[in-house]
Amino acid sequence: MSDRRLQTELIEGIRKRGGRATLGDLMSTTARSADEIQNAIIPALNGVGGHVAVDENGELVYSVLDPRRLPDERSALERTVEVASKVLSVSFITALSVTLVAYFAFYIVLLVCLAVVAVIAAAQGGDCDCPCDGCECLDCAKCGDGCGDCCVIGGSEKKAQKREIRAKKREVFREKRAERKQKRLETAADRRERRHDALVRARQRVGLRGEREVLGLKLERETVTKKPKFYRAVYDFIFGPPRVARDARERERNIVAFIRAHLGRITAADVVTLTGLSIGPAERLLLDITARYEGDIEVSENAALIYRFDRLVVSVDDDVADLAFIAERGHAISVADFARQKGQSAVDALKRLQHLARNYHGAVDARGGSTRFVFPATDAGARRGDGERDYTYCWERLERSPAILGIPEGERGWLYGFNILNLVLSIVMSVYYAGGSSILGGGASEAWLVGYLPLLFSASVFGIPIARWLIRGVANGTRLRRNAWRVFLLALFHRLEESDRVRGAEILESLFGPQALIQHGRPGPDNRQQTHLVSFLERAIRELDGSIDAEAGLDRHGEHTYLFERLHDELNAVERERLTVDLRELQVQTIVYDSADPEM
């Protein structure tokens, strides 16, 4: 990324936080390392008239009050290339819809013209075969006053005979068709019964219809509800609905948000719950984040590694200070009292208390004629509500089977009709031109424009989605296994909160409830789920530093007990460490210097 883009990102990050931000705030907002931010922030502030303040602990606070933006330093060539790429992209998307409709209109006009020519040719023809001016009669002896009478009489008799022959042929054809239809129905019924099980197994094996289940989990389908505009309808039909570009720093941003929400303390076990990674890659990722975000490592009493990020937690947000202020007053305060103590207007005080109540489980008490806000959990370690947190666990991000067509059901009929007609007629025209014939006398260029190119285009409109559907069917199996692993981690960590020993039956109960355990406490009737569970437990032993509890041995149902000491110890050690953190010591203290007021 260029320096200017990084500087713009930092300035926008400061403005998102109300115009003031610490290094920790910027690391959280942008998911940029401390070195990247420190190297780019001063030039960025100089470009928009920002300033820097220092508190009594030496923490820097960056401020941007000027609404102006950083000047665009790109060259004219760079801007031209960017505009040209956007124009080309829109032109290509629009050209697909225009081409489909244009060929449809052309073929309709061509069919109408051919029909008119056929009608004219039929009207000019006769139905007699005598030498009387080329007319065709059944018997020239019947010609009375002239060939015209002969054609009328003879032609009528010949047509009657033809109609009779055709009627007999149709009757025979209907009888044979009825017999063939009955045989087909009988054969199809037998074949359907024989192949049903094999078809289900094939679908489950490759995931073509998302019907496969792992640990009782099916792959949810993505549903398209928004109808695209006409100019991009064909593009979305071929390549699927528009998607937001994936954030390359999404995983890192999620971990940083978790760290800030958990008082700057995290372990490798926490990273497993956030990413779904095995313990080794999770630890390597956490070590990299420690280096990039000025973290530190300490060892707990039970030898668990705890990663500390004190600087990442330092913020200009006054939430904790305000909550501590309210806690000193009995965990409740009125709007008037808060406004008076903080020197704010009643409106500002109300907004501030509403913000705190929304994020920290506060409640409104309007009894007694005054509005009071009650905070039952306003301690130094107060947490934001789950509905407001900025991070997500891996089991909250289950993948879906992506939609193939970017047009909602019920809105695709016109496109199917247009392209089917184009495809059929382009095939006919291509065969016609392949024989060396011509309609418009345009030679090879006519054959390509009227036959071959529309054939390739129409085939692609259907062929590309079919190819994507086949690829999705194969990929869905992998998606489903990833989802099942994440849900398995949810059940596993739920059990690890109580003990470091886990049994398969307990995991099943966590996943499916008590109904998963039937006779004598054995797992439920679906042996496939038991097989999947055993495979996931074996994978957890390999990837999460677990083991089989040899001392416990087999229980009365022949099941092992699985031991995950490391995960259990890390989860408990980091919770104990978080209880010792006093966030008031990590907040911005009294400002002792501000570049906007050097004389302070």
Sequence spans of domains, the chain: 3-63, 127-206, 319-390, 482-572
Distance, C-alpha 110 to centroid of its chain: 43
Question: What would the pLDDT profile of 214-253 be if each residue is shown by its tens digit?
Answer: 777 788 888 888 899 999 999 999 999 998 888 888 999 9
**Is the pLDDT at 377 greater than 70, yes or no?**
no
* One CATH from 1.10.760.10, 1.10.10.10, 1.20.1440.230, 1.10.3720.10 for 319-390: 1.10.10.10
Domains 3-63 and 319-390 share a fold: yes
Give all strands of the β-sheet with 296-299 in edge-to-edge order.
265-266, 305-308, 296-299
Residue 201 is predicted with a pLDDT of 53
Residue 61 is predicted with a pLDDT of 87
Q: Pick the more confident residue, 344 or 537.
A: 537
**Is the pLDDT at 309 greater than 70, yes or no?**
yes
Distance, C-alpha 596 to centroid of its chain: 45
Given a contact cutoff of 8 angstroms between Cβ atoms, the answer to whether 137 and 115 are in contact is no
Is residue 219 classed as helix, strand or coil in its secondary structure? coil
CA dihedral 493, 497, 502, 507 (to 10 degrees): -50
The arrangement of secondary structure in 3-63, i.e. its CATH architecture, is: Orthogonal Bundle (1.10)
Average pLDDT on 175-188 reads: 80
Average pLDDT on 418-446 reads: 83
**Is the pLDDT at 99 greater than 90, yes or no?**
yes
Q: Pick the more confident residue, 562 or 582.
A: 562
Q: How confident is the model at residue 142 (pLDDT cuts 50, 70, 90)?
A: very low
Average pLDDT, the chain: 80
Given a contact cutoff of 8 angstroms between Cβ atoms, the answer to whether 323 and 375 are in contact is yes
Cβ neighbours of residue 459 closer than 8 Å, sequence gap 6 or more = 423
User: Whole-model pTM?
Assistant: 0.71
Is residue 74 classed as helix, strand or coil in its secondary structure? coil
CA-CA distance, 576 to 581, in Å (whole number)?
10
CA-CA distance, 166 to 280, in Å (whole number)?
80
Of 61-70, 368-377, 555-564, the poorest mean pLDDT is in 368-377
**Residue written as tokens 């087999």?**
554
Question: What would the pLDDT profile of 479-524 be if each residue is shown by its tens digit?
Answer: 999 999 999 999 899 888 888 888 877 887 777 766 544 433 444 4
Residue 380 is predicted with a pLDDT of 39
CA-CA distance, 107 to 110, in Å (whole number)?
5
CA-CA distance, 146 to 136, in Å (whole number)?
13
List the structure tokens of 218: 């099916």
- 49: nearest Cα among 33, 37, 66: 66
Average pLDDT on 330-357 reads: 79
